[in-house]
Chain A
């Protein structure tokens, strides 16, 4: 998505990203970015909370108007108060799932090889 924003912007269309993966977006380097420190999946605001969703969209609009240079990030002033372990539990790797992940990887490689053989995936 960040690459798409860069392409639009470079071709004369101003952009703003609403997102939650701060490092990924900022490493790519985008013109304007509203960061919400939430679990991935709800970067436009919490489900069933139209007031917050609206405030986050408004932050995006304000950033379109106020940014004077690229790589301008604004952090939304909201704190996730659901599962307090959400940061650690995303794609967690520990002794409880190491073997399961290893098997999952082997299965994915088999599937990928089948997809390639059937022409469903283009090589890089």
Chain B
């Protein structure tokens, strides 16, 4: 059953006194402060952003799909065991593994990640390729770890994702963080 619709839910007190969407930067800072972490996390912030126009129509483009979900548990792994360090990983879209999402900060009280396409729309993208809306889905899906360190993402992981996308002949990339 779907929990969302195009219809607004009835609101007995219309109007807004606070920002409506969640301010995650503030919420996260308060949450870690309450845990006794003294130095607040510094989120990436830029005044400028890069921009590259499409080089060809989407109907002729190879679309790469990128997730923040982590690799499946290694064989023999049991609940409570330590997991390997997060790293860039790839798998064929035609045979996706059961990805590991429990270590990521999504809203576990109100939703779940049992439907892969709710956080990584592999099958939806494949349908769009079959209908000719896009040229094709890149052969591999890539996973990029959510790192505390901006430097590790910028110097290690993002260049590796770029290298793999180029290897797959990708023309555009659809990135879906959890």
List residues of A whose CB falls within 8 A of some B CB. 1-19, 21-24, 27-31, 35, 37-50, 52-54, 56-58, 60-61, 64-65, 67, 69-71, 77-84, 86-87, 89-91, 93, 98, 101-102, 104-106, 108-109, 120, 122, 124
Q: Which 5 A-B pairs have the closest CB atoms?
A: A105-B35, A41-B106, A39-B107, A82-B3, A7-B158
C-beta contact mask, B108-131 vs A, less than 8 Å → 1, else 0? 111111110111110111011000
Q: Is the CB of A45 within 8 A of B25?
A: no
Bound state CA distance, A65 and B28, in angstroms? 34
Bound state CA distance, A86 and B101, in angstroms? 19
Bound state CA distance, A39 and B111, in angstroms? 7
List residues of B whose CB falls within 8 A of some A CB. 1-9, 20-25, 27-28, 30-32, 34-37, 43-55, 58, 64, 66, 68, 82, 85, 101, 105-115, 117-121, 123-125, 127-128, 133-134, 144, 146, 148-154, 157-159, 161-162, 165-166, 170-178
Bound state CA distance, A104 and B85, in angstroms? 21
- Which of A50, A57, A70, A105 lies in contact with B49, CB distance below 8 A? A70
User: A21 with B177: in contact, given A3-B158, A27-B45, A28-B45 (CB under 8 Å)?
Assistant: yes
Chosen A-B contacts, 8 in total, with CB atoms closer than 8 Å, are: A6-B158, A18-B175, A28-B45, A40-B107, A43-B119, A50-B123, A57-B121, A57-B125
Bound state CA distance, A67 and B51, in angstroms? 9
Residues of B contacting A31 with CB < 8 Å? 49-52
Residues of B contacting A106 with CB < 8 Å? 36
Bound state CA distance, A98 and B33, in angstroms? 10
Q: Is the CB of B144 within 8 A of A79?
A: no
Bound state CA distance, A98 and B108, in angstroms? 19
Bound state CA distance, A15 and B171, in angstroms? 9
Q: Is the CB of A124 within 8 A of B35?
A: no
Known: A41-B107, A58-B128, A71-B49. 18 other contacts (CB 8 A): A1-B175, A4-B153, A4-B175, A7-B162, A8-B162, A14-B55, A17-B176, A28-B43, A41-B106, A43-B177, A45-B118, A47-B112, A50-B117, A61-B128, A70-B48, A83-B110, A87-B21, A91-B27
Residues of B contacting A47 with CB < 8 Å? 111-115, 118
Bound state CA distance, A84 and B27, in angstroms? 18
Residues of A contacting B120 with CB < 8 Å? 44
Measured between C-beta atoms, what is the minimum distance from B32 to chain A in Å? 8
Residues of A contacting B165 with CB < 8 Å? 8, 13
Measured between C-beta atoms, what is the minimum distance from B55 to chain A in Å? 8
Residues of B contacting A4 with CB < 8 Å? 66, 144, 153, 157-158, 161, 175
User: A3 with B105: in contact, given A15-B175, A82-B4, A91-B27 (CB under 8 Å)?
Assistant: no
